[in-house]
Amino acid sequence: SAQNRYLLLQHGRITHGFQLNDPEQRRRITTYYAEGSGIHEAITNFPRKLRRIGVVGLGTGTTAAFGNKGDYVRIYEINSEVKRIATKHFSFVNDPRQEGGTVDIIMGDARLSMENEPPQKFDVLALDAFSSDAIPVHLLTREAFQTYLRQIRPDGVIAVHISNRYLDLRPVVERLAAEFGLSSVCISEDSEANWWVYATTWVLVSRDKAFLEGKDIRAAADAPSVKSDGPLWTDDFASLYAILK
């Protein structure tokens, strides 16, 4: 039916997102970002109104739909072809009804962009560049996290999308959190309650332990890690071999 039609962006075996065609459903947040996902929990439970949201990795631009009127969404993307597709074929970024917030797409390597710009004071910073088998390791090192912490508010949240067929990134992210004395919680959504909801795993990291212990996030959270001795990735050392599934 027309109601169930959607536009999908896929590269190899990796789906980067899709959008429902029905005009009433176009802003529905689908796939890895849908209700129940860690990123959805972080943004919808965030206590401040008029939020500033940062995103590393554009995909189809789905995360732009988290921006309500008055919100600001800043998306970092390295691939100009991805930007072309997201802005030409999908309307999350260029919302035809202007129901969303202001969206900027910053082209180039996300880490370099953030290193070279003044603090953006993000409430939530989503790192969504790790779904393929060739991950940008330099975005998950101690030095990278130093940059992210400069870019978020003191009570801000870093949400890392770790769904990956080949690599278990959870111990890497948890070790980075521990390195900076941050709290973390892992949220796996595997109910796939509707066809537009994908199974997905996000790790939320924050200085604000109370936020991560709020009832909605606590209800969605996985059990704490049994072992917390993941490798500490730095710009000098990162081994994918250690975290192969």
Q: Is 233 helix (H, G, I), strand (E, B) or coil?
A: coil
pLDDT number for residue 124: 97
Residue whose C-alpha is closest to residue 49's, from 28, 69, 65: 69
Burial class for 151, CB neighbours closer than 10 Å (0-12, 13-18, 19+): buried
Identify whether the C-beta of residue 45 lies closer than 8 Å to the C-beta of residue 208: no
- pLDDT given at position 97: 64
Predicted confidence (pLDDT) at residue 217 exceeds the cutoff of 50: yes
Q: Is the pLDDT of residue 71 over 70?
A: yes
What is the tens place of the pLDDT at every residue in 188-199?
988 766 766 777
Cβ atoms of 230 and 224 within 8 Å: the answer is no
Of the chain, the percentage scoring pLDDT greater than 70 comes to: 85
Using pLDDT thresholds of 50, 70 and 90, give the confidence band for residue 150: very high
Taking only the tens place, the pLDDT of each residue in 13-48 is 666 676 876 666 666 777 788 888 999 999 999 998
pLDDT value of residue 191? 73
Q: Say what the pTM is.
A: 0.90
Q: How many helices (H) and strands (E) does the chain have?
A: 7, 9
pLDDT digits (tens, 9 = 90+) for 100-148: 789 999 999 999 999 999 999 999 999 999 988 788 999 999 999 999 9
pLDDT for the residue 197:
74
Which of 125 and 11 is assigned the larger pLDDT?
A: 125
pLDDT-based confidence at 218, cuts 50/70/90? Answer: very high
Q: What is the pLDDT of residue 2?
A: 46
DSSP helix/strand/coil, 189:
strand
Whole-angstrom distance, CA of residue 108 vs CA of residue 148: 16
Mean pLDDT of the chain: 87
